Structure 1
Amino acid sequence: MSDSQSISAAVAKLYNTYPFPPEPLLDEPPPGYNWRWNWLAAYNFCTGQKPHKSNPRILDAGCGTGVGTEYLVHLNPEAAVVAIDLSSGALGVAQERCQKSGATRVEFHHLSLFDVEQIPGEFDLINSVGVLHHTPDPIRGIQALAKKLAPGGIMHIFVYGELGRWEIKLMQEAIALLQGEKRGDYSDGVAVGRQIFASLPEDNRLRKREQERWSWENQRDAYFADMYVHPQEITYNINSLFELIDASGLEFIGFSNPQIWKLERLLSQAPELMERTKNLSDRQLYRLIELLDPSMITHYEFFLGRNPLPKPDWTSDNQLLTAIPEPSPCIEGWRNGRQFFNHDYQVVNLSESEWQFLLACDGNQTTQKSVQEILQQTGASLEDARSLQKQQIILLASKI
């Protein structure tokens, strides 16, 4: 057996022992939404407009127990969804989860990322969360996925960051040392890890970080095992992350948590330093942010795309006026008042004119009124429409 096969077998054994994530199975669709799993909202984030295609083909690459898969099916009622995973145990849970909640428009395959070429055709949206960093060869993995991305398609990736997981890496090595020849016995690893945390002084850095950041989810053994006794884990910094991205051959569209990557949140009180950053490239700015706030960067979540990915210019009054607006599918409570949750579950408080414009967009998927027509109806301004689009509260479709 090759090293790659040995690693894959060890990873499969972990997830057969502790199917992950260990979320409860429901007899109804899961609550809420994750906009990254909604085709309309994700495509809008990547391109600034609503996709023309309403029936995408979606791949959940490394689906685990199907938590993300279930959302992908329920949030995309016209999509055809395919899910793959290396662990037969986790895959069995995923199938049961989706069956119970009525997420039946999905086909499952017991495959690793490296074998994804066995599935015919291409995909408009590929979701691979928490998977590549557990493979023996992430570059080979991302290249395999890239080959399955259709022209005009987008891919969402989530991998670990080395700086924000520093204490985790130390604990992983400590557990492995104490396990000795029992390493690979994941139940023993969980027991050893829990004993260590219980024994460490209260002011110990590893114990404090666990209590501050991870202990709530790590009450469950599956989470603890995934974090501390995983047989294969690669972490990244900005430099190594973009080596991975560049190897994919795809376009880097942006981080899907962009608020974290705004330098102003760290240096806004030092305008002279902000001025000095103007000559830095985007990658240098990202590196600066993670160096200044390492504990925040526990992971990287980002979109890649395959051209052509048309991006309209909504700064053009003519283009904006002829666009067809509709409310984002990932906002909540907006019909009840100007203050509601946006796509990231952050509270927004619209102006009265912005809210009236949004209300007038309700049902516009059918009526197909233009921005200009809704402005005339509501008395809102063109800047109100731009503001709503920038906040991803409305989606705009270019006039064909």
Structure 2
Amino acid sequence: MSDSQKVSAAVAKLYDTYPFPPEPILDEPPPGYNWRWNWLSAYNFCTGMKPQKQNIRILDAGCGSGVGTEYLVHLNPEAQVIGIDLSAGTLAVAKERCQRSGANRVEFQQLSLFDVEQLPGEFDLINSVGVLHHTDDPIRGIQALAKKLAPGGIFHIFVYGELGRWEIQLMQKAISLLQGEKKGDFRDGVEVGRKIFASLPETNRILKREKERWAIENHRDENFADMYVHPQEIDYNIDTLFELIDASGLEFVGFSNPGFWDLERLLGKAPEIIERTKDLSERQIYRLIELLDPETSHYEFFLARPPLTKANWKNDSDLLTAIPEIQPCIDGFPSQVFFGHDYKVVNLSDGEFAFMQACDGNQTVGEILKNVELSLDGVRSLQRQQLIILSLSQ
């Protein structure tokens, strides 16, 4: 057995022992939404406009217990979804989850990322959350998945960040040292870790970090094992992250939490320092941000296979003839106060509210503005906030 096969076998054993994520299985669609898993919303984020088709193919690469897969099926009613994972035990949970909630447009296969070429065809949306960093060769993994992405398709990725997981890394190494020959016995690893945390003084940095950031989810052994006794983990910083991205051969579209990567939120009170960043590259600015705010426990971002057509809506005539509709991933509308696509509270002005109420998917922006007091810049603001989705008029 090769080293790569040994790593894959160990990872599969962990998730056979502790299927992950451990969210409860429901006899109904899952609550809420994750806009990154909604094709309309994700495509709009990446391009600024509505996709031309919704009968797409989606691959959930490393689907685990099917929590994300279930959302992908329910949030994309015209899509064909395939989920792959190494762990037979975890896949059994995923199948039950989707059967119970009526997510019946999904096919599951026990398959490694490295063998994804065995799947027929290409995919318009690939989702890989918390997977690449658990392989022994993430570059090989991302390249294998990139080959299955259709032209104009988008790829949603989540990988760990080293700066925000520093204390986790220390605990992982401590548990490994104490396990000795029992390393690979994941139940023993969880027991060792629990006892360490129970013994550490309240002033201990590792314990304080666990309590303030992770303890609520880690009361479940599945979460604790995934965090502290995983047999394979690679954590990234901006420099190594973009080495991974560049190796994919795909276009970097952007981080899905752009607010975090806004330098103004950190240095807005020091314009002379902002001025010094003018000669820095985009990646250097990202690196500066994470150095100044080392809470980055993960990176979540989109890649794309060109050609990916993008709209900017700067041209007034294009915007006036565009057809707006409501972003599908919001909660509480119609109301002037509701939750936006990222579950942050939105407060609409009277004009914004009237405009959104008129977005029926049939009228153009120009037609709506004949009866609503809102400027074109106001419409652009709604679009930038991901509250409406615009499509080019035919």
Per-residue CA distance 1:192-238 (angstroms, 9 max, x = gap): 00000111111000010001100000000000000000000000000
Larger CA deviation: 270-279 vs 101-110: 270-279
Is contact 1:313–1:319 with CA below 8 Å preserved after alignment? no
* Structure 2 counterpart SS, 1:259: coil
Once residues 379 and 236 of structure 1 are traced to their aligned partners in structure 2, the CA distance between those partners, rounded to angstroms, is 48
Q: Quick one: which amino acid aligns to residue 306 of structure 2?
A: N
Once residues 148 and 67 of structure 2 are traced to their aligned partners in structure 1, the CA distance between those partners, rounded to angstroms, is 22
Q: Quick one: which amino acid aligns to residue 39 of structure 1?
A: W
Residue 277 of structure 1, CA deviation: 1.1
Q: Quick one: which amino acid aligns to residue 273 of structure 1?
A: I
Q: Quick one: which amino acid aligns to residue 309 of structure 2?
A: P
| Structure 2 residue aligned with 1:395 | 389
Once residues 114 and 182 of structure 2 are traced to their aligned partners in structure 1, the CA distance between those partners, rounded to angstroms, is 29
| Structure 1 residue aligned with 2:303 | 304
**Alignment root-mean-square deviation, CA:** 0.7
Residue 166 of structure 1, CA deviation: 0.4
Q: Quick one: which amino acid aligns to residue 207 of structure 1?
A: L
* Structure 1 counterpart SS, 2:93: helix
| Structure 2 residue aligned with 1:190 | 190
Residue 173 of structure 1, CA deviation: 0.4
* Structure 2 counterpart SS, 1:377: coil
| Structure 2 residue aligned with 1:346 | 344
| Structure 2 residue aligned with 1:164 | 164
Per-residue CA distance 1:47-103 (angstroms, 9 max, x = gap): 000000111110000000000000000000011101000000000000000000000
Are 1:17 and 2:17 an aligned pair?
yes
Residue 379 of structure 1, CA deviation: 3.2
Residue 382 of structure 1, CA deviation: 1.4
Once residues 383 and 202 of structure 2 are traced to their aligned partners in structure 1, the CA distance between those partners, rounded to angstroms, is 48
Once residues 23 and 343 of structure 1 are traced to their aligned partners in structure 2, the CA distance between those partners, rounded to angstroms, is 22
Once residues 354 and 127 of structure 1 are traced to their aligned partners in structure 2, the CA distance between those partners, rounded to angstroms, is 33
Are 1:383 and 2:377 an aligned pair?
yes
Residue 381 of structure 1, CA deviation: 2.1
For residues 353-392 of structure 1, the aligned pairs below 5 Å read 353-361=351-359, 363-364=360-361, 368-392=362-386
| Structure 2 residue aligned with 1:325 | 324
* Structure 2 counterpart SS, 1:260: coil
Which runs of 5 or more residues in structure 1 are unaligned?
A: none
Per-residue CA distance 1:363-386 (angstroms, 9 max, x = gap): 32xxx2111111113233212211
Once residues 257 and 390 of structure 1 are traced to their aligned partners in structure 2, the CA distance between those partners, rounded to angstroms, is 13
Residue 275 of structure 1, CA deviation: 1.2
Are 1:71 and 2:65 an aligned pair?
no
Q: Quick one: which amino acid aligns to residue 381 of structure 1?
A: S
Is contact 1:312–1:398 with CA below 8 Å preserved after alignment? no
Once residues 131 and 312 of structure 1 are traced to their aligned partners in structure 2, the CA distance between those partners, rounded to angstroms, is 31
Q: Quick one: which amino acid aligns to residue 148 of structure 2?
A: K
* Structure 1 counterpart SS, 2:33: coil
* Structure 1 counterpart SS, 2:260: helix
* Structure 1 counterpart SS, 2:163: coil
For residues 116-155 of structure 1, the aligned pairs below 5 Å read 116-155=116-155
Q: Quick one: which amino acid aligns to residue 353 of structure 2?
A: W
Q: Quick one: which amino acid aligns to residue 329 of structure 1?
A: P
Q: Quick one: which amino acid aligns to residue 372 of structure 1?
A: G
For residues 26-65 of structure 1, the aligned pairs below 5 Å read 26-65=26-65
Q: Quick one: which amino acid aligns to residue 165 of structure 1?
A: R
Query: What's the TM-score once normalised by structure 2's chain length?
Result: 0.99
Residue 43 of structure 1, CA deviation: 0.1
Residue 274 of structure 1, CA deviation: 1.0
Residue 334 of structure 1, CA deviation: 1.7
Residue 6 of structure 1, CA deviation: 0.2
For this pair of structures, how many residues does the alignment match? 394
Residue 112 of structure 1, CA deviation: 0.7
Is contact 1:125–1:153 with CA below 8 Å preserved after alignment? yes
Larger CA deviation: 44-53 vs 260-269: 260-269
Query: What's the TM-score once normalised by structure 1's chain length?
Result: 0.98
Once residues 170 and 79 of structure 2 are traced to their aligned partners in structure 1, the CA distance between those partners, rounded to angstroms, is 42
Once residues 203 and 92 of structure 1 are traced to their aligned partners in structure 2, the CA distance between those partners, rounded to angstroms, is 42
Q: Quick one: which amino acid aligns to residue 45 of structure 1?
A: F
Q: Quick one: which amino acid aligns to residue 344 of structure 1?
A: D
Once residues 248 and 377 of structure 2 are traced to their aligned partners in structure 1, the CA distance between those partners, rounded to angstroms, is 38
Once residues 320 and 42 of structure 1 are traced to their aligned partners in structure 2, the CA distance between those partners, rounded to angstroms, is 20
